[in-house]
Amino acid sequence: MEAHYTLAEAGDYGELIDFCNYVFSHAHSPTDFPALLPKLYRPENFTPGCHYIVREGGRIRAAVGAYPLCLNVLGTALPARGIGMVSVHPYARARGYMRALMKMALEDMRRDGIVFSLLGGQRQRYEYFGYTPAGQRAVFECCRANIRHLLGKGFSPAFSVRRLEGDGKELEDIYLLHQSKAARFERDAGKLFEILSSWKCRVFTLSDGGGFAGYLVADSAGAAISEINLKNPARMIEAAGCFLNHLGRDQVSVDVQPWETEKLEAFSAFAENCRVTAPYSFAVFDWQPLLSALLRLKTASGQDLPDGEAFFRVSREGLPDSCFRIAVRQGEAEVSPGTGEGAIALDSLRAARLFFSPQPWAPPALLGSPFLRGILPLPLFFENPDGI
């Protein structure tokens, strides 16, 4: 039967949602995309032109979503796209549909000047398309006992904790606090509650005598805080203690991004333990603006960069090599075009691991470079509410 490739239009919404719900429910567990990610899949939020689909005999047999994102680093906007809803009907597998749709999505991203793309999924499955686990996220395990020893057995809640049930006046305060961060994925203020509620998470506000003091986003069980922002980051210990008291829990994990030095300092001072993980899988299309922005972010976060320079040539199958130079002079970093002559040659997967990986990985030839050891890894990150 002939396959027809196209982009989903507004009229395809109902069929597409039913199809993807069926495929994910069949392969994993019962799935309801509008409930799981209302920011993308509720009827009023559905965006035509973001879903690549295959039809056989008029019926959808495969789909890949590519959704617009924008990473803002110190005022520099880096356009990105997140891949999600990758679905192939169980009776239409092994026909090359996923590969063809991913190829279409990647070609459009390069055409449209997208800097990078990201997704979640089995590593080797997506490394065929240039994605690999990268970036850093610190996960702190915080126990009630940690807080009691630091703040005293008679710890008195300093914050009032309240769960938001829907749109409310606090959302404006939350939005402004998020917008004040040096690095962030941009969020639509009109969809903020739906964004923060992604993956069935719950949103809590923190207040004190001065009013709104911050917010946090936790999973449905209250066992993991994926995002916490306070007007005063030095009060993280109090915030964690108040959250545990509010839910009557003994332990919670807290995600912190690699450039958030105040949060890292606060949680490392009392958390029981910490692990560093890669938050997502990334594919980079335009290395220069991404590396330049993250080098500036690293400097702004308080890290001194050593003087030096290095030349790179990054290859990707079927595409021209990307050649660039990284140089630092008196703390100022610059990423500029290079010729590729005498450059460090890497494929795109190894380059992503070198520049962003939380693991202490480097080709043997680079292990002796004080310059590269001093500037890497770069603080690529991803926050759960922005997930696709």
Reported as a single tens digit per residue, the pLDDT across 85-103 is 999 999 999 999 999 999 9
State residue 9's pLDDT score: 96
Domain boundary pick from 277, 294, 310: 277
- Asked if residue 330 has pLDDT above 80, the reply is yes
- Asked if residue 154 has pLDDT above 60, the reply is no
Residue 381 forms part of a structural domain: no
- Asked if residue 43 has pLDDT above 80, the reply is yes
State residue 156's pLDDT score: 63
- Given a contact cutoff of 8 angstroms between Cβ atoms, the answer to whether 261 and 233 are in contact is no
State residue 152's pLDDT score: 66
| CATH code of 347's domain | 3.30.1050
Cα separation, 292 vs 283, in Å, equals 16
State residue 1's pLDDT score: 75
Residue 245 forms part of a structural domain: yes
- Asked if residue 356 has pLDDT above 90, the reply is yes
- Are 104 and 150 in a shared domain? no
> Which range among 82-91, 145-154, 156-165, 372-381 shows the weakest confidence by mean pLDDT?
145-154
- Asked if residue 112 has pLDDT above 60, the reply is yes
Residue 124 forms part of a structural domain: no
Residue 52 forms part of a structural domain: yes
Mean pLDDT (the chain) is 93
Domain count for the chain, please give it.
Answer: 3
- Are 271 and 177 in a shared domain? yes
- Are 348 and 216 in a shared domain? no
With a pLDDT cut of 70, the percent of the chain lying above it is: 96
- Are 34 and 98 in a shared domain? yes
State residue 237's pLDDT score: 87
- Are 14 and 106 in a shared domain? yes
- Are 97 and 193 in a shared domain? no
State residue 359's pLDDT score: 67
Residue 127 forms part of a structural domain: no
Residue 126 forms part of a structural domain: no
Domain boundary pick from 277, 297, 327: 277
State residue 138's pLDDT score: 96
- Are 173 and 94 in a shared domain? no
End-to-end CA distance of the chain: 32
> Which range among 165-169, 252-256, 346-350 shows the weakest confidence by mean pLDDT?
165-169
State residue 361's pLDDT score: 61
Question: Which residues, other chains included, contact 162 with Cβ-Cβ below 8 Å and sequence gap of 6+?
Answer: 204, 205, 207
State residue 155's pLDDT score: 59
The strand pairing partners of 207, in sequence order, are 160, 212
Q: Which helix (H) or strand (E) holds 4?
A: strand 3-7
> Which range among 134-143, 145-154, 305-314 shows the weakest confidence by mean pLDDT?
145-154
- Asked if residue 368 has pLDDT above 90, the reply is no
> Beta-carbon neighbour count of residue 188 at 10 Å?
11
Cα separation, 282 vs 312, in Å, equals 19
Cα→Cα distances 215→34, 94, 204, 232, 341, Å: 24, 46, 6, 11, 50
pLDDT bucket at 46, cuts 50 / 70 / 90: very high
Cα separation, 326 vs 220, in Å, equals 43
- Are 142 and 271 in a shared domain? yes
Cα separation, 206 vs 212, in Å, equals 6
Q: Which domain holds residue 313?
A: 283-375
Domain boundary pick from 277, 303, 333: 277
- Are 109 and 150 in a shared domain? no
The DSSP symbol for 388 reads -
- Asked if residue 153 has pLDDT above 80, the reply is no
State residue 148's pLDDT score: 77
- Are 252 and 193 in a shared domain? yes
State residue 13's pLDDT score: 97
State residue 327's pLDDT score: 97
Residue 387 forms part of a structural domain: no
Q: Which helix (H) or strand (E) holds 71?
A: strand 59-73
- Are 370 and 343 in a shared domain? yes
- Are 266 and 350 in a shared domain? no
3-state percent helix, strand, coil for the chain, nearest multiple of 5: 35, 35, 30
The strand pairing partners of 71, in sequence order, are 78, 185
- Given a contact cutoff of 8 angstroms between Cβ atoms, the answer to whether 386 and 185 are in contact is yes
| Cis amide prior to 385 (ω within 30 degrees) | no
Read off the pLDDT of residues 259-277 as tens digits, 9 standing for 90 and up: 999 999 999 988 999 999 9
Question: Which residues, other chains included, contact 215 with Cβ-Cβ below 8 Å and sequence gap of 6+?
Answer: 170, 173, 174, 177, 203, 204, 205, 206, 228, 229
Q: Where are the alpha helices (DSSP H) in 73-224?
A: 97-111, 123-127, 144-151, 170-179, 192-196
Read off the pLDDT of residues 174-225 as tens digits, 9 standing for 90 and up: 999 999 999 999 999 999 999 999 999 999 999 998 899 999 999 999 999 9
| CATH code of 91's domain | 3.40.630.30
Residue 388 forms part of a structural domain: no
Cα separation, 214 vs 205, in Å, equals 6
